[in-house]
Structure 1
Amino acid sequence: MRDDLVQLGIFHLFSVSGLHLFALLAGLIWLTDRLRIPKEAAEWALIALLPLLPLLLGGGAGIVRAVWLSEIRLVTARMRLPLSRLDGFSLVLMGNLALQPYILHTFGGQLTYLLAGALYLLPPGPRLKLNLQLGLIGLPVILAHTFRFHLLQVLFNWLLVPVFELAVMPLVLVTLIFPDGPWTGPLERGLQLGEQSLHALTTLPGDVIFGAVPTGLAVLGVGVVLLSLARRQKRWLIGWLVAAWLVANVHPQWRVTLFDVGQGDAILIEAPFKQAAVLVDTGGRGFGTVREPPAKRAIVNYLHARGLNHLDILVLTHADADHVGDAGLLTQLMPVRRLVTTTLAANHRYILAAKAGQVVSHTPLLAPATLTVGPLKLKVVAPESADAKEKNADSLVLYGKIDKYFWLLRGTRTGRWGARSRH
């Protein structure tokens, strides 16, 4: 579900999550008032109990910020201290930095304090306009960490954040405290339906793979967006977006990247100016499963960071799990224009799983065919026939010139990193 929220750009749920806490506190104070519990006693009880909430809801940056902002507001009101809302926000930020000095080096920490601080500075206005402004302010940080944004994310935040903040989150909190309530079953079914609906939304067009924006440029971007909103100068924002896109997407050199996928291989070949992107093998989970396999955590994230929204060719050298076991996962996450395998491996379950993803065409190859895409030409050296008795003997071997070097890419373990020479 978190992956779906990230793809849709609904970052307010993580960054400004905690706004539901203020609604919950207001509801509790209203309830204690109706029960004729003295307001002073109710507020002192909340002051005592609030620090326990991160233990129930998790210690995320958004929750910690919201809890301590609520704590400061209640204490300020009770003791009549002359603190403004911005003063309280600054105290919470300084306290969080004292306890977690690297909080502003994390994605959640950066967004929660940036967007929550912006809420204090932005003038009041329609909620849709406010969502648009928050989306623009957070955009440089989002691009620096996720390398993508959704064209409909402002609309998604406008529609869905109130549902989460004012309904789902408070109900989940109440369920944590009273797990046997009659609402638990309907809430669980509602959450499952909501998760299915969110996943369906990810199929809508509008997901833009932008590429990685360097940290310094992202910090500059936040300043540019704030100045653009303050002075209503759109051209500054447009200028920053153009500069950021050029930095993230203009790659004038050849590049060969070797991914750490454990025992198997995963080698990405990039031609200058995105003329070709070829991945040889994907790695796999032949020796156990992990929550974030390298095909998702490393390969797809890296492709997005390079501004690549598809692969021109995916070469699966042979049907061993440690080389192509995650090919099915990769083609679910990344469109592939052409899948290349040997003739013998074409009907293996790992290859069929890859073909079931976002694959346009599949080409079985044997030597002496030539694999050509853009300026890249790789000759198929082996296998010469489809009568191999075991998978390693059926492995594709590719040879060709990449930039100034000649590379021999062998899928079998004896040549796991390939070889290169000038001759």
Structure 2
Amino acid sequence: MTTPHRFSRQNPLTGRIRVPGDKSISHRSLMLGALAVGETTVTGLLEGEDVLATAAAMRAMGAGVERDEGGTWRIHGVGVGGLLQPERALDMGNSGTSTRLLMGLLASHPVTAAFTGDASLSGRPMGRVIEPLSRMGASFEPSPGGTLPLMMRGAHPAVPISYRLPVASAQVKSAVLLAGLNTAGITTVIEPVPTRDHSERMLAGFGAKLEIGEDDGANGKERVIRLHGEAELKPQTIEVPGDPSSAAFFIVAALVTEGSDLVIENVGLNPTRAGLVEVLRQMGGSIEEMDPREVGGEPVADLRVRHSALSGIEVDPAIAPSMIDEFPVFFVAAALANGRTTTSGLDELRVKESDRLSAMATALTAIGARVEERGDGLVIDGTGGEPLAGGGPVTTHLDHRIAMSMAIAGLASRNGVEVDDTAPIATSFPNFMALLEGAMR
């Protein structure tokens, strides 16, 4: 059942808000906690459907995963190599991260597992993970096109490999490293372009032996990660910082809504994730970091964001991996800027929950933006700060980020924007609507 909603101009965004915990760190906290021996405690865990799918999968494979009344999660791990064969298919819902990382985790365990997902996830390619994990000895029976439903058999013993990522992908990197945990020897991943490094930070925090360096590649320096297998992970106490991908919607909303002056507390600012803040500052956005600090090995700050006149820019494709999930809402900011914004190198956006380039080009055009879709990016001629016409309903293709991005566009439109379905927002940001309404009171 769909849940349409019309978003329209209201009051400025003011006061202080706190967004849910980082999704990437939440997934990894549950997985690594399940592989440690003892009790890992996690506060600030994102309790969206994607992360709950990971929690259910870890329970199905023998780990104890409980939430107490105060919101603290306690994970009783089984040790590396101790995961049990699940009795039924692992339902991943809409979560590509859960699926790809768990395939890696199980690739070096002597278990057979079936993976299923919703219609959106079942259309997403898994071949880029299947390929390196097959080299390590795991075997896969995917649906035609390399998608879910999928059956896999882990290898025991698995074989360590040295793998150069053909496409910048933190999920593929993480899947190979997680497979390496229960593999004798050294598993190596080579990154021509650095991607988000939560896995490396958290693996080291749990006690895995990692060596990270640089080698000379054909096109310059390449990042090399070496993981020593048969690791013994130690339980941790984790405080999950606010998700920068969730904060992104409120950052853009405050920048484009006249009179806004909003503080977003406890935002994770890992350099491999903070590209959006840098690019919006290049456009003239007022985003101030207050009380910078470190929490659990991750840089964190409170962000004060004020309404700003934005100017179009050419976005350096080298920054794309550090803001890949934020491009849908960035396109909204570009549509309201003064002048032309050009993006390129965004092929990855075509294989997310939807084809986000095509979906955002169509949705923004439908509400009055001037957008040209190219093979690997969008060219957007902004309104110079004038509101968009609005309209809809716009089609979100069951994609939570398209839905939230078009909600923000509605705040900067004359006639509001109707989003065809807000239900998918719950996969990553269950209290998005309530938080948005509260910031505009």
Same fold (TM over 0.5): no
Greater relative CO (CA pairs within 8 A, separation 6+): 2
Bigger Rg over Cα: 1
More strand, by proportion: 2
More helix, by proportion: 1
TM-score (norm 1): 0.28
